[in-house]
Structure 1
Amino acid sequence: MSTMFTRAAGLAAVVALAAVTVAVPAHAKPDKEPDLSDVGSLVDKVAKEQLEEGEVPGAAVSIVSGGEEIYSQGYGYADIDDKTPVDPDTTGFYAASTAKLFTAAAVLQLEAKGKLDLDADVNEYLDFDIPDTHPGEPITVEHLLTHTSGFDPDYGMLGKSVTDAEELMSLRDSVVDYLPERVEPPGTVLAYDNYGVTLAGYIVERVSETPYDEYIRENVHKPLGMTGSTATQPHPDTIAKNLATGYRLDGDKQVTTPPNFDPWTPTGPGHVVTAADMSRFMIDQLSNDSLLGEGIPENMMKQHHTSHAGMPGIGYVYEEQPRNGQRVLAKDGDGMGFHNDMILLPEHDLGIFFAVNGDGGDGLDLAAIGEAVTDTYYPGDDVGKPTAVDDSDVSEYEGVYQGSRVSRHSIAKLRVVGQSRVIVTANADGTLTTSDKTLSTHADADSQKWVQTKPGFFREVDGRGTIAFEDGVLTGSTGQNQVYLKQAWYESPVLHLYLTAAALVAMLAGVIVLPIVALRRRGQSGPGKFSRLLGWLTSALAVAVVVGLYLLLSNRDVGIQMLWLGSPLVYAIMTAASVVVLGAAGMAVASVVSWLRGWWRVSGRVSYSLLSLAALTFASIAVTYNFTGPPFD
């Protein structure tokens, strides 16, 4: 803990410190560890609730403690049509991002052998160059494992996945062709980074002189006895035959998701695991004698980056997510039709893995089992209500904060439109209120109130959560794969939505009115007629773009599928939006010329100028959110 008080406060300050500060909790172990013999009944109840309320067809759970698996169970169906039940020992689930842990372990194995240096410039291990965007601040291997490389987040999502493994590009080609821009100096901003971990996996391949999937098989899966797991694409027949079918909801029906092969295997895609194999992995992670290598799990779980001193942070891929005063390390994975959550309580030698084979509905809560077990067996002590020990002005923290995991240079920036933001309001009593995005330890809280315990550091009034501010960056204690960056008013997605709506209304009017005007003046010719045609075509294409975006964004799971697989609809939207930009520029020129040369009546020139302004507004939004091209990404 880093909260500081003056010596004059003496013993009272120590007491106050214990009462108000839980940023990195004192993870006290109980005098006697709880009896987990009945944990199965609790987990069984919650898992069945998740199947029903989360609307997923199947699930598997495994729990380890004391060096052994103490509970495992399958629920529902691995395949609905064949009525194949989920078997925790044999049913395969896509691991998605949880497989990043395997990449981290592989990197540390090579470091232990002296084959790479975590603090070295990644260019030392590559056969292509990462640009020197920030001179004197190279990206290191450690940056890749802590999501602090500064690469543009979520870049390279469009069209990289395929449904036929024979069309899969190589790992090397993918990291070269989809190299993101460096948007932040390394080590400064925490932002979940799929490319960074993929690059770490390619470094494993380069340094070990072994294909990535083979290295993982021989050095991670094989030592642990993970016989039902693989990083190879296409999957070996023994794995493929037991792989669960992925599903997404279409109304009240479960629809299968398409096969998905992706070259970025080190960051998760393509990895298949079973619940039993994840038990073996968790047991090794919690062991004092790891089969992966001496000290490797401890190094993975150690905090290697925090965005604010005294706050939870990130290890090598592991995210610190304290709960009830306990140190909890978490990693989850999300893919098309597959999702999972894994947590470790290292001080209590406890690990929990929960996986489902469906995207599910709003009721799906992957963290439900881990939270239920933690709350039941490690509830923590009542920390009491915090008392403000710092009454300095808090108005400087007011504003709107957006998550850092937002692409700046790809169409993936569109995800910001549906994301919750953190709205911070300063209260007259010196407290802060946050709303919209939940930073509370109470997941269902609509808003939270915070007391300042030292400058820039706040404790939740009715919970254990903490937040901290520094240089326009907000760090929360409930999730450690991104921070929140203060937005300028003109960066607001809400403002952009209003501007888009206003422009769309004007352009819809243009689509309707311009043909009527053309019919009334069908005998006319010349540049004025062409300008009206240009206005109609531009407006019609803008309307078509909005319809396409609605189809893309109305169902999150379908939209992600379309982006990953490079759906023709996505490319059609981007092509049409690019033409709208050109059309808007042409309309702006025509509008100016219409006033200079006296085309049409004054009312006609005013109307066309307003339509041109609407087109330019729409075009600027299209450029801002990167759904123009070429290139199309």
Structure 2
Amino acid sequence: MTGVRGAGVVRLSGLNALKRLVAPFAAVALLTASVGQAVGQVTPQEIQQSAAPPATPQLVANDVNAWLDGFMPYALSNADIVGAVVTIVRDGQIVANRGFGFSNLETRTPVNADTTLFRPGSISKLFTWTAVMQQVEAGKIDLDADINTYIDYEIPAYNGQPITMRQIMTHTTGFQEVVHDLISSDPTTGEMALGDYLKNNIPSRIYAPGTMPAYSNYATSLAGYVVERVSGESFNDYLQRHIFDPLGMRNSTFRQPLPEAMQASMSGGYKNIADGEAQYFEIVVPAPAGALSTTGADMALFMNAHLNNGAGLLRPETARQMYETVDQQFPGVNSMLLGFYQESYGGQRIIAHGGDTSFFHSNLSLLMDQNVGVYVSFNSGGSGSLGATLLRWEFMESFVNRYFPSAPTSDPEPLATALEHGAAVAGDFESARRAGTNPLAAVYFLGQTTVTMLPNGDLVGPGLPDVNGEQKHWREVEPWVWQALGGTERMGARVDESGRVTAIAFEPLAFAIPASRAPWYRSKSLLLPLLGIAVGVLALSLLSWPIRTLTRRAHKGAFVYEGARAKAHRLTPVVALLSVGYIVAWALFVTWLMDSLDKNSGGLASGLLTTLYVAGILPVLAFAGAALVNVSLWRAPSSWFAKGWGLLVLLSAGIVLWFAAAMNFLSFAFNY
């Protein structure tokens, strides 16, 4: 149990809860591992040995496999995940390469870590970065040159500043997030030339290059295209000849759709066990950012190469440049390296990369000082509080705590600056990895992080919830650096010259997905309640019209309004219908679009988007109509209630128009 001092809250650590629940299974696994040993007479010495405290766990095959047998089956069941692969290497050797659960739920085909293909998503980027560094080593790429030097189209400069390969590798290009043509179920999209995708989907820039980490799939694909251009080979051919073949990775490919010979080995991707339906093979159109299909055994080869200073792929000095070049944008938190990013568990020096497609969720971590690599991949998103996203980090934390335990620490006391700095941080923050110029801004608006301060200066709100679904509490441990109570994650703040906090970065996403302070006109704490009130007022106005009409007819009453007052009465529900209908239409469209990234490819989404853009005249007409209603009410004899309600309708129509402008619903931007 961890007491959160000053918050009046006592919460159970998700990791401790998981350990308690897993412990019986681990014990059974350890007992099972001993089956088959000779059974003879028990001596007093053996009794004494059995009563002795258990030995410190050793990172060897027997112990790791016994631990996995206890941890993984329960974790998959609890998280509603169909199957997983776990690969652990040390000193160039495989310690464990295990499959758990099923690759095909319908046929109950088990996962085979040697042959079953998983999609590790953005872990694919590590192969792209390795290819880039090979070309840096060959003298064909300069990390600090204008990227336009290497391509046959132009990335526009931002205020005169070009982007560089170094900024691409540290996710500081300033590109906004784009999802159009990101993932498709149409196999023919896998044949799209990489250059064609890039030229047709250039994102807008929302930050100056080099100033703000903002994770970008587009930028990574641009790096892959540069490799194509300078090497004279297609990206797929390059990886095969310069990475897969040299390492002996015979069951790995970026090709989409899968080559026929590999299709039978592909694991299904699932939402969760409860849904139970295998989903489509995802075509990742910006292939260098996430198209890899691979096995646990092949990932062992890749991890061992990088643990051995890039052996077989890079010169040691080039590999160390990848591992040791830190782009420290925020104080006190894990940051981007050149392609890899930092990860912290138990005080270990870890470089890592995670990856997600719609259905697969993975993580790769290299403990550099221990010469240990850990790869875990799940073929389902799962459900409940412990889905695959959290489980992969819980798994890694449990692994490090078991095999490289650090001394337990207590929660720190608040700094003297906790109240001052906490108050400076409090407010709404939006993801730096966001849409800035298109209507998907609404998704990131709803996902804003609201930071609140407790009476003792602790902060609540930032970061992923723990496995119990509870928000983390953060305590300042250094000036402008906070630590999660009961954990090791840290959060850093960026402060401008005036002392204003402009952005925060919280682990485990601090490396390239920080959050910048939302401007007041796009602040969720302000705009969302106002929108709710506005829609409520307009909905009541809309509903009151048929109710009053039916009531009047039921009682055979006369319509009592004339002239301007009658016009106001009839126009008010029209205003309400236009405003509410417009917001509902956008809500349905965005929900439909984000339900599956596959819908972002093809013409239907673009057609619907065009229709909604044209419909942008509706909230303008509604606001004008509401203004006319108020003019009519004030010119004609009207009650103060009618005049007051008319003003509420006008304000509500104005809020809807404000929301539409803030969410880029009027932008006519098709690059999303």
1:79 is matched with which residue? Answer: 104
Query: Matched residue of 2:271: which SS?
Result: strand
Aligned match for 1:469, one of 493, 497, 501: 493
Query: Matched residue of 2:440: which SS?
Result: helix
Shift of the 466–81 alpha-carbon distance from structure 1 to 2, 3 Å rule, reads: closer
Deviation at 1:564, TM superposition (A): 3.9
Query: Matched residue of 1:41: which SS?
Result: helix
Aligned match for 1:287, one of 304, 308, 313: 308
Please give the alpha-carbon distance, in whole angstroms, between the structure 2 residues aligned to 1:420 and 1:590: 33
1:397 is matched with which residue? Answer: 424
Aligned match for 1:544, one of 568, 584, 590: 584
Please give the alpha-carbon distance, in whole angstroms, between the structure 2 residues aligned to 1:166 and 1:442: 39
Counterpart contact for 1:95–1:271, Cα < 8 Å: yes
Once the two structures are superposed, the pairs formed by residues 219-230 of structure 1 within 5 Å of their partners are: 219-230=242-253
Once the two structures are superposed, the pairs formed by residues 23-102 of structure 1 within 5 Å of their partners are: 34-37=58-61, 38-102=63-127
1:196 is matched with which residue? Answer: 219
Aligned match for 2:281, one of 242, 259, 278: 259
User: What are the Cα deviations for residues 489-531 of structure 1, in whole angstroms up to 9, with x where unaligned?
Assistant: 4432243321222222123224323456789879999995995
Please give the alpha-carbon distance, in whole angstroms, between the structure 2 residues aligned to 1:501 and 1:90: 52
Q: Which runs of 5+ in 1 are unaligned?
A: 1-31
Please give the alpha-carbon distance, in whole angstroms, between the structure 2 residues aligned to 1:262 and 1:289: 27
Aligned match for 1:335, one of 338, 357, 361: 357
Shift of the 462–629 alpha-carbon distance from structure 1 to 2, 3 Å rule, reads: closer
Shift of the 477–584 alpha-carbon distance from structure 1 to 2, 3 Å rule, reads: closer
Counterpart contact for 2:86–2:296, Cα < 8 Å: yes
Shift of the 497–481 alpha-carbon distance from structure 1 to 2, 3 Å rule, reads: same
Please give the alpha-carbon distance, in whole angstroms, between the structure 2 residues aligned to 1:461 and 1:163: 43
Once the two structures are superposed, the pairs formed by residues 369-448 of structure 1 within 5 Å of their partners are: 369-383=395-409, 386=412, 393-394=420-421, 397-400=424-427, 401-419=429-447, 421=449, 423-425=451-453, 427=455, 432-438=457-463, 446-448=471-473
Larger radius of gyration: 2
Counterpart contact for 1:427–1:433, Cα < 8 Å: yes
Please give the alpha-carbon distance, in whole angstroms, between the structure 2 residues aligned to 1:443 and 1:283: 35
Query: Matched residue of 1:138: which SS?
Result: coil
Please give the alpha-carbon distance, in whole angstroms, between the structure 1 residues aligned to 2:612 and 2:163: 35
Aligned match for 1:344, one of 361, 366, 382: 366
Please give the alpha-carbon distance, in whole angstroms, between the structure 2 residues aligned to 1:357 and 1:126: 36
Counterpart contact for 1:422–1:434, Cα < 8 Å: no
Residue 272 of structure 1 aligns to which amino acid in structure 2? S
Query: Matched residue of 2:276: which SS?
Result: strand
Please give the alpha-carbon distance, in whole angstroms, between the structure 2 residues aligned to 1:172 and 1:468: 38
Deviation at 1:101, TM superposition (A): 0.4
Deviation at 1:198, TM superposition (A): 1.3
2:299 is matched with which residue? Answer: 278
Residue 166 of structure 1 aligns to which amino acid in structure 2? T
Residue 474 of structure 1 aligns to which amino acid in structure 2? I
Shift of the 395–355 alpha-carbon distance from structure 1 to 2, 3 Å rule, reads: closer
Q: Which is further off, 493-502 or 56-65?
A: 493-502
Residue 89 of structure 2 aligns to which amino acid in structure 1? V
Please give the alpha-carbon distance, in whole angstroms, between the structure 1 residues aligned to 2:93 and 2:628: 79
User: What are the Cα deviations for residues 53-108 of structure 1, in whole angstroms up to 9, with x where unaligned?
Assistant: 11111111111111011111111211122322211111111121110101100100
Counterpart contact for 1:591–1:605, Cα < 8 Å: no
Please give the alpha-carbon distance, in whole angstroms, between the structure 1 residues aligned to 2:204 and 2:162: 14
Deviation at 1:236, TM superposition (A): 0.9
Query: Matched residue of 1:272: which SS?
Result: coil
User: What are the Cα deviations for residues 228-265 of structure 1, in whole angstroms up to 9, with x where unaligned?
Assistant: 11111222112222111111149x32233233223200
2:514 is matched with which residue? Answer: 483
Shift of the 376–614 alpha-carbon distance from structure 1 to 2, 3 Å rule, reads: same
User: What are the Cα deviations for residues 4-23 of structure 1, in whole angstroms up to 9, with x where unaligned?
Assistant: xxxxxxxxxxxxxxxxxxxx
Shift of the 443–208 alpha-carbon distance from structure 1 to 2, 3 Å rule, reads: farther
Shift of the 475–532 alpha-carbon distance from structure 1 to 2, 3 Å rule, reads: closer
Once the two structures are superposed, the pairs formed by residues 127-138 of structure 1 within 5 Å of their partners are: 127-135=152-160, 137-138=161-162
Counterpart contact for 2:534–2:652, Cα < 8 Å: yes
Please give the alpha-carbon distance, in whole angstroms, between the structure 2 residues aligned to 1:569 and 1:200: 28
User: What are the Cα deviations for residues 456-484 of structure 1, in whole angstroms up to 9, with x where unaligned?
Assistant: 34455654444333322323353322223
Counterpart contact for 2:541–2:573, Cα < 8 Å: no
Please give the alpha-carbon distance, in whole angstroms, between the structure 1 residues aligned to 2:605 and 2:653: 22
Residue 374 of structure 1 aligns to which amino acid in structure 2? V
Please give the alpha-carbon distance, in whole angstroms, between the structure 1 residues aligned to 2:374 and 2:287: 23
Please give the alpha-carbon distance, in whole angstroms, between the structure 2 residues aligned to 1:331 and 1:513: 56
Please give the alpha-carbon distance, in whole angstroms, between the structure 2 residues aligned to 1:481 and 1:593: 49
Cα RMSD (Å): 3.4
Counterpart contact for 2:146–2:163, Cα < 8 Å: yes
User: What are the Cα deviations for residues 348-372 of structure 1, in whole angstroms up to 9, with x where unaligned?
Assistant: 0111111111121132212232222
Shift of the 440–311 alpha-carbon distance from structure 1 to 2, 3 Å rule, reads: farther
Q: Which is further off, 605-614 or 366-375?
A: 605-614
User: What are the Cα deviations for residues 288-329 of structure 1, in whole angstroms up to 9, with x where unaligned?
Assistant: 461112124333222331113554311122221111111122
User: What are the Cα deviations for residues 559-593 of structure 1, in whole angstroms up to 9, with x where unaligned?
Assistant: 24355446957964x45653553112112223334
Once the two structures are superposed, the pairs formed by residues 90-129 of structure 1 within 5 Å of their partners are: 90-129=115-154
Query: Matched residue of 1:111: which SS?
Result: helix
Please give the alpha-carbon distance, in whole angstroms, between the structure 2 residues aligned to 1:291 and 1:523: 87
Aligned match for 1:499, one of 509, 521, 530: 530
Query: Matched residue of 2:145: which SS?
Result: coil
Please give the alpha-carbon distance, in whole angstroms, between the structure 2 residues aligned to 1:120 and 1:569: 37
Deviation at 1:424, TM superposition (A): 4.8
1:236 is matched with which residue? Answer: 259
2:653 is matched with which residue? Answer: 615
Deviation at 1:165, TM superposition (A): 2.0
Counterpart contact for 1:333–1:341, Cα < 8 Å: yes
Residue 67 of structure 2 aligns to which amino acid in structure 1? L
Residue 293 of structure 2 aligns to which amino acid in structure 1? V
1:578 is matched with which residue? Answer: 613
Residue 115 of structure 2 aligns to which amino acid in structure 1? T
Counterpart contact for 2:422–2:459, Cα < 8 Å: no
Please give the alpha-carbon distance, in whole angstroms, between the structure 2 residues aligned to 1:616 and 1:391: 41
Shift of the 504–578 alpha-carbon distance from structure 1 to 2, 3 Å rule, reads: farther
Shift of the 124–389 alpha-carbon distance from structure 1 to 2, 3 Å rule, reads: same
Deviation at 1:542, TM superposition (A): 3.0
Aligned match for 1:367, one of 358, 370, 393: 393
Q: Identical aligned pairs, as a percentage?
A: 24
Residue 535 of structure 2 aligns to which amino acid in structure 1? L
Please give the alpha-carbon distance, in whole angstroms, between the structure 2 residues aligned to 1:406 and 1:424: 22
Using structure 1 for the length normalisation, give the TM-score: 0.83
